[in-house]
Chain A
Amino acid sequence: METLVNKRKPIIRDDDVRREAVALSALVVCRNSAEHIEAAGRELVRALEAFGEPFEIIFVDDGSVDQTFTLLSRFAQADGRVRVIKMRSTFGEASSFDAALRLSRGKKIVYIAARVQVNPHGIAKLLEKLDGPTDLVVGWRYPRRDSLLNQIISRTFNALTLRWSDLKLHDLNSGVIVCTREVLEHVPLYGNLNNFIPLLAMRQGYRIAEEKIEQLPGKFRQSRYLNDYVQRFLDFITVIFLKNYSKKPLHFLGFVGAIFTIAGAGINLYLFVYRILGLGAIAGRPLLLLGALLLVIGIQMISIGLVGEMVIFTHAKDIKEYNIEKIL
């Protein structure tokens, strides 16, 4: 058994990571970005050189089907500070980000999703802000030069998410984030959670700020699949759940379940009294059906909440609910 376990390779091996220290790691996740990635990469190098400290750039090719990887590898050969990770297929932005993070060494992390095409020279301003009492700076795409549909979706998403949190930001999912390494060590990165990094970081007690960054004019593709937008919404629900109830599922499910149960019980009680007082027959009334249905749904929700509690109680012993800043 043990040899079997040992044969599993870690995602990034120790000898993959280079030795020399850098101050800054820029992580760029791209997928099918052959058209602009070369120009954008060169621009990014120039912007980071102006920063004046040693840096590295890690590109992640998240399963592109165009020339992206060829272009990137040529780029990496020409410039020793550039590295490229090629994913075996498309795993999504969060996973690509996670892989890049494991390979990176900088104390400060610049995260850029290549799809948003921002002006890399704006990053200096974000980095400046990070020097203050801030742990994470979100780029605010301004002026925004995106397709109208993307803008509308993004606005709605922002409004929804920010309503549910205490964050005061304009552009939560801008795809541009500058932060200290420590923040990302405390934030889960999988699925589409990259859209919620500021929110998750805030929950851990980190200080969040935002800074404007120019979006470059270019061709912006809309997603061809409605699915992408539905997923956005589902992710939103996931994050609300993760943010508030990850260790107490019953507080959430119990609440919904209690509403159903009380509504169902109320309806049935009303019908019961109605029948007892002899006001008429109830057997044929659709309301009776509704009452029974609500009651059953309510009981099931509470039960599932209880199972959730059981999962936490028996499995989540090592998940810490706190984040220590200092020990004296």
Chain B
Amino acid sequence: MKNESEKVHLSIVVPLHNEEENVTRLHEKIHASLAPTGKSYEIILVDDGSTDGTFEVLEKLSKGDPLLHVIKFRGNFGQSAATAAGFDLARGEVIITMDGDLQNDPADIPRILKKLDEGYDLVSGWRKSRKDRLLLRKVPSKIANHIICKVTDVQLHDTGCALKAYRSEIVKRLNLYGELHRFLPALARIEGARIAEMEVQHHPRLFGASKYNLTRTYKVIMDLMSLHLFIRYLQHPAHFFGIIGAALIFLAMVLTGWMFYEVLMRSAPQEEFNNLLTIAFLFFTAGFQMFFVGLLAELIVKTGQRREVYLLDRSAK
């Protein structure tokens, strides 16, 4: 790591995977758009186990540039891990992430910074005119965005846009793993961040292949489920599990009540209800277990490392 003690205002974090052709131009463009601002900055490029010549290019660039830091992963650990590594190394007060494929334009960074200075903790890009294939990328992305907004309660037009600016206090609190990089605004929101969005440019992909695929839908759904839980119930998870438990017990009571009614009031033969009674017992048991699962969850949260879930507003003067 170069110039470790020096303070910088801005850290640009870009995860890269097989972007051999794009890296040099990306590096140039970032410098071209940031040098005129007069602010101190650093560029952190993370090579996430590229199998092409990405790292060789990075090595060459790094030699001639004291502002460039390169992290090379031992293998391919995914975009979340790459972003997290960049975050861990970043020293800037403001951290900016973007894609390595040049579809985001570094020229937008100064504008995003200005927006951040209006008093936000996170400014997310919005690719209003997307230069991608309609059916394969834009439509699924729109649908996903809609669902993500609904579930995570963060109102953004384009949560998937990689170009984002964060205050470092927020970033250092994020627990980024698995594939949670898709939900960074939601994670930041859990930490109490004030979020804004801003239109940014979007260019068609020149080199390399897109890494998007539809089979990830399952993982996204699962992650959304956990996020939903984290956002609404992190302070009192027993409520969440309690609701499920109560629903099961309610069902069990309805079944038992119905059986009593039929057998006692209308003297139906009791044998006919043997099955239903078993199901009622099953629901009772499951319902009670849910309550205990909820207690367990409470215990986990209470012993966790993140006891304070509020964030002091440092921008207020």
Contact = CB atoms under 8 A, between A and B. Distances in A.
Contacts of A132: none
Nearest to A254: B222
B74 A285 contact: no
Main SS class of interface, B: helix
Contacts of B306: 314, 317
A182 to B, nearest CB: 10
B237 interface: yes
Contacts of A316: 175, 177
Contact of B226 (A306, A319, A325): A306
Contact of A310 (B178, B273, B300): B300
Contacts of A296: 248, 282-283, 286
Of listed A205, A247, A313, A315, residue having the most chain B CB within 10 A: A313
Interface residues of B, number: 61
Interface stretch (A7-15, A71-79, A116-124, A286-294): A286-294
Contact of B279 (A250, A289, A302): A289
A205 B73 contact: yes
Nearest to A304: B293
Contacts of A313: 175, 226, 230, 234, 304
Interface residues of A, number: 47
B72 A285 contact: no
Nearest to B301: A314
Contacts of A305: 222
B275 A299 contact: no
A316 B300 CA distance: 12
A283 B49 CA distance: 58
Interface string A46-79: 0000000000000000000000000000000000
Most B Cβ at <10 Å: residue of A288, A292, A310: A310
Contact of A324 (B74, B222, B225, B286): B74
A327 B72 contact: yes
A326 B236 CA distance: 42
Interface string B292-317: 01001100110111100000000000
B276 interface: yes
A206 interface: yes
- Residue of A288, A289, A293, A303 with highest tally of chain B CB at under 10 A: A303
Contacts of B85: 320, 322, 324
A151 to B, nearest CB: 33
Given A303-B244, A315-B304, A321-B84, A251 B278 contact: no
Contacts of A278: none
A248 B223 CA distance: 8
Contacts of A255: 218, 222
A250 B82 contact: no
B149 interface: no
B219 interface: yes
Nearest to A206: B74
A248 B234 CA distance: 17
A304 B292 CA distance: 11
A318 B101 CA distance: 30
B127 interface: no
B229 interface: yes
Contact of B305 (A314, A321, A328): A314
A322 B81 CA distance: 6
Contacts of A314: 300-301, 303-306
B117 interface: no
A269 interface: no
A316 B218 CA distance: 23
B69 interface: yes
Interface in B266-290: 272-276, 278-279, 282-283, 286, 289-290
A219 B121 CA distance: 68
A167 to B, nearest CB: 13
A299 B1 CA distance: 48
B166 interface: no
Contacts of A286: 275
Contacts of B229: 306, 309-310
The 3 closest A-B pairs by CB, nearest first: A205-B75, A314-B304, A205-B74
Interface of A: 203-206, 247-248, 250-251, 254-255, 281, 283-286, 288-289, 292-293, 296, 299-300, 302-307, 309-317, 319-328
Given A283-B276, A306-B229, A327-B89, 15 more contacts: A204-B74, A205-B76, A251-B178, A283-B273, A289-B275, A289-B279, A312-B177, A313-B175, A314-B301, A315-B304, A321-B178, A322-B81, A323-B73, A323-B75, A327-B72
Interface of B: 1, 49, 58-59, 62, 68-78, 80-82, 84-85, 88-89, 175, 177-179, 218-219, 222-223, 225-226, 229-230, 234, 237, 241, 244, 248, 272-276, 278-279, 282-283, 286, 289-290, 293, 296-297, 300-301, 303-306
